[in-house]
Structure 1
């Protein structure tokens, strides 16, 4: 029997289950790169479109796990030595967490988790796990690669338009009963003709570029691994050898790079000195890619015309986090990858990975981050251990 410790975000304050706006969601059979969607054995423990990413939703896992003799503990209480997470960690065989409500598996916590064999991300992004410590302990690290990449790409497009068109303040004028047309349009522009650049053009970054091409913008990108000539020609992309080159010319800058020690605080005061005045910065990757206070200074000084972020550090962000109250912001509480559509895929992928692991079957290479003490699968091309 395995003990599965699952950390999910809290239920809606209005109660669970919610009243859903739609009766169903579209059926997606594959991803743009040809990868198929998750395919667990048997029935899902939920209806597609249900809210399963919260505590009461349990990712739909309870029926499967308990019917096979395993124990499931689900909690949102993850901070402090007396938290539910800390109390159950020492005898947990499997820890499931989310990027949206991460249970940080530090070297100290991994050392404490003597029985831990699998650290599984319900979604994409495994930087809340210390991969070096996991590899040294022989812990397998896996995530549901591509499950919510398009969800995040759509969020980037929404944030871009919201900032450039000054949508959020204009909406607030309407809510407040006003008709302040002049006030609304003093910061409203067309995206058409602007220069849009993405730093990292992997699954999400490339999906963003494809979705923005019809807007007749000039597309730029930086990535350590240059895209094929065919893709560059298809999207009329301008390649930059450094992020610094890109930020000098782009009106909108999109961050999609993984978080490494080398990319932490990539956007600091020095980088902002290079940014074109009046540019917009979008960050749905990781909060620590940006120096928190440098972002505030850049917005308040006018170096940035706006900052829209879906990621923070730490998460959840404290109430007094300055990004909540700085001007010209479009912040969201890390929701981009946990739409109800995305939850269907990453919950199904979580079940698929669990079934493979518990039945001692191979996990898809695209889901693997660390295996056998080394980076593996997707992890080998996306992460570093030092």
Structure 2
């Protein structure tokens, strides 16, 4: 087991938080631990992260902090827990942490509904051309209702292809069923028949087949060496003409240059994006495309979700400090 002896129970662990969290979460952390907060919310530089890891018992990073093997190797011997704020852990080198006997935890499940809600908003908004309509009104160029104005596509009867049928993928399927979408999915492993029946979902063994069948494709799989760039130029070219791509998962799943080219040519009918390769920078070509709804990585941005994530971080630290295995310990190879 990837464990390390906990600090003495009589001492509060020294906790460094890399970003500004909700006030209620920070207040509770300050009560329970010796906590260093980042109140100005400026992302920590690599040097600042390294200094923090040389002195902290617990580091609380977020998905924007790249905790690689070199940083972990330079950490002080007291660092025993990386309690990440967020469900994803691809920003942490788990193998390097395991080698140093540093436990890694995350906050699974708390953002499932929030991300599924935003995904559904994009699934609705892109084919109904909501960005174009909003822009028309903001520019003062709307001339009134007309039979042929801003014609979009209805959802009912369209094929929704879900890539990755974990918690979020299933939550999207649950919502999409109410809109009359024909739900098909690709996953590493087929779901039990009872689960498929509950969501009205059909398993498609081949990703290529799913892409070829779908009117709308939405991505909900984690980043991994095998998944990076899986929606490449060839696969985008094989998608239905006019198909729509939704990505609220990870930017590196998609070849964004190929996607932009397909959007510009009209092969793709639109895209809904919440993640980008070089955040916070967004490619100017994406910004200029009228058939793209782009959001600033807000899939998990609800007060309730962020509070629950903070509570999970606190619980994981308390379990570890008391000498117990944290409830959300991430085991390498099982993510």
TM-score by length of 2: 0.89
Pairwise mapping of residues 205-224 of structure 1 onto structure 2 (< 5 A)?
Answer: 205-224=169-188
The structure-2 alpha-carbon separation of the partners of 1:170 and 1:65, relative to structure 1 and needing over 3 Å to count, comes to closer
Q: 1:97 to 1:173 in 2, by over 3 A?
A: same
Q: Distance in 2 between matches of 1:113 and 1:267?
A: 36
Residue 358 (structure 1) aligned to one of 310, 321, 326: 321
How far the C-alpha of 1:65 sits from its partner, in A, is: 4.0
Deviations 1:274-295 (A, max 9, x none): 1111111111110110112111
Match of 2:136 in 1: 173
Deviation of the 1:56 alpha carbon: 6.5
Deviation of the 1:325 alpha carbon:
3.4
* Native 8 Å contact 2:80 2:101 kept in 1: yes
Q: 1:120 to 1:183 in 2, by over 3 A?
A: farther
SS at match of 1:313: coil
Inter-CA distance 65–155: structure 2 relative to 1 (3 Å threshold): closer
Equivalent in the alignment of 2:232: 268
Kindly report which structure 2 residues correspond to 1:1-386, keeping only aligned pairs within 5 A, or say none: 1-8=12-19, 55=20, 57=22, 60-62=25-27, 64-68=28-32, 70-74=34-38, 76-78=41-43, 80-82=45-47, 84-99=48-63, 102-114=64-76, 115-180=78-143, 181=145, 185-314=149-278, 316-318=279-281, 320=283, 322-364=285-327, 367-370=328-331, 375=332, 380=334, 383=335
Post-superposition offset of 1:120:
1.8
| Offset at residue 182 of structure 1 (A) | 5.5
Q: 1:228 to 1:56 in 2, by over 3 A?
A: closer
Where structure 1 has 5 or more consecutive residues not aligned to the other structure, the ranges are: 9-54
1:322 deviation in Å?
4.1
Against the structure 1 CA distance between its residues 283 and 56, is the aligned structure 2 distance closer, same or farther, given a 3 Å change threshold? closer
| Alpha-carbon distance in structure 2 between the residues aligned to 1:128 and 1:109 | 12
Q: Distance in 2 between matches of 1:312 and 1:122?
A: 20
Check the 8 A contact 2:276/2:282 in 1, yes or no.
Answer: no
Q: CA deviation at 1:327?
A: 4.0
Per-residue deviation, residues 255-289 of structure 1 (Å, max 9, x unmatched): 00111111101111111121111111111110110
Tell me the secondary structure at the aligned position of residue 292 of structure 2.
coil
| Superposition CA RMSD, Å | 2.2
Task: Count matched residues.
Answer: 321
- Which moves more between the two structures, 115-124 or 200-209? 115-124
Hey, what's the Cα distance between the residues in 2 that align with 1:137 and 1:322? 43
Once the two structures are overlaid, the 10-residue window that deviates more, 304-313 or 143-152, is 304-313
Deviations 1:226-275 (A, max 9, x none): 11111222333221112111000100001001111111011111111211
CA distance in 1 between counterparts of 2:81 and 2:285 reads 36
Give the distance between the partners of 2:197 and 2:282, measured in 1 at CA: 46
Aligned residue for 1:254, secondary structure, equals strand
Report deviation, 1:348: 1.4
CA distance in 1, matches of 2:71, 2:284: 26
Q: After TM superposition, give the deviation of residue 192 of structure 1 in Å.
A: 1.0
Q: Is the 8 A contact 1:193 1:218 kept in 2?
A: yes
C-alpha separation in 2, matches of 1:313 and 1:137: 30
Distance, in Å, in 2 between the alignment partners of 1:334 and 1:138 is 32
Q: 2:213 is paired with a residue of what secondary structure?
A: coil
For the structure 1 residues 302 and 320, does the alpha-carbon distance in structure 2 shift closer, same or farther, using more than 3 Å as the test? closer
